Every structure is written in structure tokens, then in C-alpha cells.
Structure 1
Amino acid sequence: MRRVLDFLYDAAAWLAALAMIGVLLMVLLSIVSRQFGFHVPGTDAYAGYAMAAAGFLALAHTLKRNEHIRVTLILGRLQGRARHALEMWALSAGVLLAGLFAFYSVRLAWQSHAFHDISTSNDATPLWIPQIAMAVGTLILLVALLDEWVLELRGRRVTVDSEEALHNE
């Protein structure tokens, strides 16, 4: 099961990287088209869609690599049961919020498809297409948070306490 979950997180990260390349390509196409006097409609909208996809698809991978911003002022001073209880509380809140976010993201994409919503910009893209990335990203984040919750519950969760976070300029 661990391999499947790690593959899921890594696959989402690769898709996020491809979306970032999409942002680059759209920006470059916009620049080149202006320089050579032709217009490619929708480049700004597609760059935005790709940027949103990159952000949402990278959420789970970032969480699993302990790269999300955490406020550890209190947590860093706790040990044992108190630390475990605070971690469980924080992860439970995260699972709840990610579950709500995933539910409403999937619902938004579904409703956009059902109502035939299209972009108001000149590209007229059906909105459910870029919203799929948000829905998938939030679903994978929910899975990752549930994974962390179960690992913490079993006492198998590995957290890296960064000394770098304690040093400020």
C-alpha cells in the first residue's frame, strides 16, 4: 500500500511539474506572438489554468515531504502524549478541511460540466476541464492527510524538525 500511495503523490507532483512547463510555454507563446505581431487567444487564461493545476496537484507531495509551512512554536516544546494529542488534533482538522475542500472542488467541476459553464475570456474553455486539476489535487491531498493521520495514530509518522526554522534573520 505504501508504494501505491507514494506513487500517487509522485505522479501528482510530476503532473504539477508538467503544468508548470505549460505555464512557461503559454507565457513564451504570448511574448513571441507579441514580438512577431500575431495574437494567440487564450494564452493568459491557459497560463492561469496551468498555474492553478500546478498548485493543487503539488499539495499532497509537498505535505508528504514536510514542506508545508507549520507553526511549531508550541509543538516544538511538547513531547510524548501532549505532542501526539496536538498532532492528532491538527491532522484531524486538516483531514476535515481537506475533505470539505475536496467535496466542494469535485462538486464545482461536476456542476460546471452539468451547466456547460465556459470561460468568460476569449478562449471560451469549458470550465470543468481546468477545474478537474483542482478536484484531483484536493482529493489526493485528502488521501495524503488521511495517510498522515493513520501514521500518527499508529505512532509511525516521521516528522523532521528543521533547525533552519528556528533561525531567523
Structure 2
Amino acid sequence: MSHQSTPVGQGIDSYQGGLRGYLRLQQIALEVAVVIMALLVTTEVVCRSVFGFSLHITEEIGGYLLVAVVFLGMPITLAEGSLFRVEFVMSRLRLRGQTWLMLLFNAMSLAVAALLNWQLIGLVRESWQRGINAPTVLGTPLYLPQIVMVVGMSSVMIVLLVQICRGITLLQKGEGR
């Protein structure tokens, strides 16, 4: 059961030009990451089973790609309204109650996302300043995959702000009394 009239679940196409394009770009990036991850794992399996050697980078790059998929996927699923919701509660509320509940949820989520993003930015800054590299064959500077986490969390915050504005607009219009 889906409640399309609430300020969530309207999809990426319901967002304005620049933000819609930005979210589409993130979606393409995470789709490419999934394909690369699948190809990398397949190549590793073939190399180990057929040729008897390992690439020694599959686990590291796969981990970085997984971080990219998770953090770039969060704003997409939020914009699409594909996150978990307690439908048995939402279905018992009128549109106005659903809108208030989602507004409260989005405001609390925004506060948590802002706190998390602040901590992630500090992590990136510390990794950059201290020159921390992964203790692996590639020796990847850790601020690189950490930046993806900041980008993804910043996008989550933008989507939450848009949804909060939509909820306030719905309430101001007096819809769903």
C-alpha cells in the first residue's frame, strides 16, 4: 500500500531541474559502481579458480564501491519513497496526520543526518591532514572514499529539506483535513 499524496514517494522526477539532474547523476554513479563491483568479483573468481592467482585488490575496491552504493543510494531511495515505513500506522491516519507524521520524521532525520555529516566531514579532514592511507596493496588515501560518504549524506539532507518544504506546503494549503 502506497500513499503518494504525502510529501514522500513522488520520485526523482518530481524534483526541480538541478536537483533532479544531480540525483540522476548519483543514480548513474551507483549503477556503474554495482556493475564494476560485479565485474571485479567475477574476474577475481575466474582468476582464482582458472588461473590460480588473486588480484589482491578485489576486497579493497569492492569495499569502497559498497560504501559508494550505500551512501549514493540513500538519497535516491529517500526521494523515491522506497524506504521502510510502518504502513499499518500510516494507513489508519488521514492525509493531514500522515503529513504531520512524515514532517516530524523528516525533521528528526534531518537533525541526525546533519550530525552524522558533521562527523563525516571531521573524519575526512583528519584523514587528509594526517595523510592516512589504507594499509593495503593500493595504499588508497582514506579521504577519497570518505568524501563519497559526505556527498551522499549531504544529498540526503537536501532531499529531506525538500520533503520538509513539501510537507509544510501541504499543511499550509489545508489539504487532507
TM-score, normalising length: structure 1: 0.84
Q: 1:38 to 1:83 in 2, by over 3 A?
A: closer
Per-residue CA distance 1:61-101 (angstroms, 9 max, x = gap): 11111111112332221115433322211110111111122
Deviates more, 1:69-78 or 1:137-146: 69-78
Q: C-alpha distance in 2, partners of 1:110/1:72?
A: 40
Shift of 1:106: 2.2
Higher relative contact order structure (alpha carbons within 8 Å, sequence separation ≥ 6)? 2
The letter of the residue matching 2:31 is A
Shift of 1:36: 1.2
Structure 2 matches for 1:1-169, cutoff 5 A?
A: 2-34=16-48, 35-155=50-170
TM-score, normalising length: structure 2: 0.80
Runs of at least 5 residues in structure 1 that lack an aligned partner in the other structure: 157-169
Aligned length: 156
Could you say what the CA RMSD is over the residues aligned between the two structures, in angstroms?
1.8
SS in 2 for 1:122: coil
Q: C-alpha distance in 1, partners of 2:143/2:133?
A: 8
Task: Give the fraction of aligned pairs with identical amino acids, expressed as a percent.
Answer: 24
Runs of at least 5 residues in structure 2 that lack an aligned partner in the other structure: 1-14, 172-177
Tell me if the contact between 2:72 and 2:148 (Cα under 8 Å) persists in the aligned partners. Answer: yes
Q: C-alpha distance in 2, partners of 1:41/1:123?
A: 9
Tell me if the contact between 1:23 and 1:48 (Cα under 8 Å) persists in the aligned partners. Answer: no
Q: C-alpha distance in 1, partners of 2:82/2:96?
A: 24
Shift of 1:21: 1.5
Tell me if the contact between 2:100 and 2:167 (Cα under 8 Å) persists in the aligned partners. Answer: no
